[in-house]
Amino acid sequence: MIEADEIDIIKLVNCLRSEAQKGTDPKSIKITLEDLSDKYLQPVLEDDALLFELGDLMSDIETKAVDYEEFEAKLQKDMPEDFSRLQVTSDRDEDYFESYKGNSIHREMIEDRVRTEGYRDFIEKNPSVFKDKVVLDVGCGTGILSLFCARAGAKKVFAVDNSAIAVRAKENVEKNGYADRIQVIQGRIEDFNTSRQIGKDKVDIIISEWMGYGLLFEGMLDSVLRARDMYLKDDGLLVPSHCNIRLAPISDAAWIADATGAAFWKDVYGFDFSSMIPGGLLNHREIGVFDVPPTALCGTANAHLLEMKTASIGDLSFKIPLHMKLDRDVDSLQAIAIWFDTIFVHPGSEQDVKTIDDVDWQKNGIPGLGFSTGPANTPTHWHQAVLLLDDEVAAKQKFKKDEVLEGTLQYAKEKGDDRGITVTVEWKGKGEGGEVEGRVRRSMA
C-alpha cells in the first residue's frame, strides 16, 4: 500500500475539486501520488471547509482504499460545526515548532553576526530591490528579517511562523512602529488559513533563514519551496537565491580524539573509561556538529549548488559525483566535514553565480553577497557537520599528496521523518598498496 502524508491528502482534495469543476465522472478519475504536483496546494474552493478541518479528521479515516464519494461523505458526516484552521502537523513537526518558541534559540541566531548581518547587508545594500515590494518571510521567528525588509522600503511584509514565537514577533513589530506594513501570521505556510490571510495576489520576494546543519537538516526548505510555488510571482526573488554544499576530508588524530572524548576517557585518574567513548558527541552513529580547525582538513572537494528558484523538493534528496583532492600526505582519513555557503544574488546583480566557487570570502564573505559557514570562516551557530569514519575504514586511508579520491555524496531524507537526513559519502583512491575504498554513512534526526 502506498502511504500518503498530510500534504498529499491536501493535494488530493484540491485535485478532486478541480476534476469536479471540469465535470469529470468520479468513476473515471485515476490519480497517483506522482500526479499530485505542488500546484494542488493552492485551494480550488475559497474557504474550503473540508480543508479547514482535514487535520482533525484524518486520524478517524480508515486506511483502506475507499470510493471518493464515500470518502467525502465520511468527512462531511464527521466534520464539526466549528471551523478553525487546517491542522496537518505530525508529532515530529509539533516538537520542531515547540523548540522554536523560546527566547534562547532566537538570541543565539540573532547573536550570530555572520548570519544576521549577512541578511541585513544584502537587504540594506540593495534598497531598490525591496522598495515598494511585497515580501513573504517564511519562518519569521522574532521578525528580525521582516523588520529589515520594512526598513529598506518594502510596502508589505507577511511574516509567517507556526511557532508561538509569532506572538512575540507581532509585539516586536508593533513596538518598532511597523504594524502598518508587517502582518504577522501564526501558522504553517502550507495552511489554508495562512493562504487566506496572504490572499490571491502573488508576492515579489520570499525571504527565509531556513538553513539547518549540513544545510538540509530540519527540512524547512521544503516549506520554502512550497511557498515559492504557491505565492511567488514568476519573476520574483528568493532570498537566499542559492546555497552551496561543501565538504572536505579530515586527517587529524589529536582533534578527533578530543572531539570523540577518547583523549579524556582513556585516562581518568589512572582508570580506563574508554567504554564511555561511544556516547560522545562525535560517534559512529550520528552526524556530529563541531567547529573544525582548518588545519584538520587535508583536502578540497567539489561543491553542490542548489538554486532556490528552480529546485524541487525531490532535488533535496540527491546523489552526485564527488572528487576530493588531498593537499598533503595522510596516514589516515578519520572523518568528513560538511558545511555550506549562503548566496544572495538578485536579477540586477553583476555577480555570476557560476563563479561563486572562486569568490574570496575572506572571513565572512563579500558584504551583501552572502556568507560561508566553513572552517576557515568566522564561526557560526551552524558550525560544521562531521561524519566520523569507522576505525577499520579510517586505518586503510593512507594516501599521497595530490591524490584524487573519486566517489559520491548522497543526501536522503529519513524514512517517516522529513526533517531528518542521512548522508552517505563513498570514494575510491590509489593507496600505497593499490586501490583503497572508503565509505561513511551517518544520520541526524
What average pLDDT score do residues 278-282 get?
87
What average pLDDT score do residues 65-93 get?
49
Q: What is the pLDDT of residues 287-312, one digit of tens each?
A: 999 999 999 999 999 999 999 999 99
pLDDT at 49: 62
- Does 84 map to a domain? no
Q: Work out how many domains the chain is built from and give that number.
A: 3
Higher pLDDT, 67 or 346: 346
Q: Are residues 278 and 179 in the same domain?
A: no
Residue 72 designated active-site: no
- Closest CA relative to residue 387, chosen from 274, 319, 265, 290: 290
Quote the CA–CA distance of 241 and 149 in Å, as a whole number: 16
Q: Which three cell numbers stand for residue 291?
A: 567547529
Asked if pLDDT for residue 85 goes beyond 50, the answer is no
Asked if pLDDT for residue 250 goes beyond 80, the answer is yes
Indicate the residue among 78, 107, 127 that finishes a domain.
78
| Structural domain range at position 271 | 242-444
Asked if pLDDT for residue 66 goes beyond 50, the answer is no
Q: Are residues 272 and 344 in the same domain?
A: yes
Report the mean per-residue pLDDT for the chain: 85
Q: Are residues 106 and 44 in the same domain?
A: no
Q: Euclidean distance between the first and final Cα of the chain, in Å? A: 25
Ranking 174-178, 361-365, 366-370, 390-394 by mean pLDDT, the lowest is 361-365
- Does 216 map to a domain? no
Q: Are residues 271 and 379 in the same domain?
A: yes
- Does 1 map to a domain? no
pLDDT at 1: 46
Q: What is the pLDDT of residues 111-141, one digit of tens each?
A: 999 999 999 999 999 999 999 999 999 999 9
- Does 36 map to a domain? yes
CATH number of the domain encompassing residue 280: 2.70.160.11
What average pLDDT score do residues 410-416 get?
83
Q: Are residues 281 and 363 in the same domain?
A: yes
The secondary element (H helix, E strand) that includes residue 254 is: helix 253-260
- Does 215 map to a domain? no
Q: Are residues 13 and 100 in the same domain?
A: no
**What is the band of 78 on the pLDDT scale with cuts at 50, 70, 90?**
low
Q: Is 2 left (phi over 0), alpha (psi -120 to 50) or beta?
A: beta
Q: Are residues 392 and 432 in the same domain?
A: yes
Choosing from 209, 414, 426, 435, which is the catalytic residue?
209
Q: Are residues 71 and 179 in the same domain?
A: no
Asked if pLDDT for residue 179 goes beyond 70, the answer is yes
What average pLDDT score do residues 319-345 get?
95
**What is the band of 347 on the pLDDT scale with cuts at 50, 70, 90?**
confident
Q: Are residues 72 and 151 in the same domain?
A: no
Residue 81 designated active-site: no
Q: Are residues 321 and 272 in the same domain?
A: yes
- Does 257 map to a domain? yes
Biggest CA–CA distance in the chain, Å, is 81
Higher pLDDT, 198 or 94: 198
Asked if pLDDT for residue 79 goes beyond 90, the answer is no
Asked if pLDDT for residue 62 goes beyond 50, the answer is no
Task: State what percent of residues in the chain have pLDDT above 70.
Answer: 82
- Does 223 map to a domain? no
**What is the band of 412 on the pLDDT scale with cuts at 50, 70, 90?**
very high
pLDDT at 64: 45
CATH number of the domain encompassing residue 146: 3.40.50.150
Indicate the residue among 188, 209, 230 that finishes a domain.
209
**What is the band of 63 on the pLDDT scale with cuts at 50, 70, 90?**
very low
Asked if pLDDT for residue 321 goes beyond 60, the answer is yes
- What is 116-138 written as a DSSP string? HHHHHHHHHH-HHHHTT-EEEEE
pLDDT at 98: 58
Cβ(212)–Cβ(143) below 8 Å: no
pLDDT at 84: 39
What average pLDDT score do residues 90-109 get?
65
Q: What is the pLDDT of residues 2-29, one digit of tens each?
A: 566 667 788 888 888 888 777 787 778 8
Q: Are residues 101 and 189 in the same domain?
A: yes
Q: Are residues 137 and 48 in the same domain?
A: no
pTM reported for the whole predicted model: 0.78
Q: What is the pLDDT of residues 211-234, one digit of tens each?
A: 999 999 987 999 999 999 999 999
| HEC per residue, 29-78 | CCCCHHHCCHHHHCCCCCCCHHHHCHHHHHCCCCCCCCCHHHHHHHHHHH
Task: State what percent of residues in the chain have pLDDT above 90.
Answer: 62
What average pLDDT score do residues 157-177 get?
95
Looking at the DSSP bridge assignments, the partners of residue 199 are none
Choosing from 3, 6, 218, 403, which is the catalytic residue?
218
Asked if pLDDT for residue 65 goes beyond 60, the answer is no
**What is the band of 83 on the pLDDT scale with cuts at 50, 70, 90?**
very low
Indicate the residue among 78, 104, 126 that finishes a domain.
78
- Does 303 map to a domain? yes
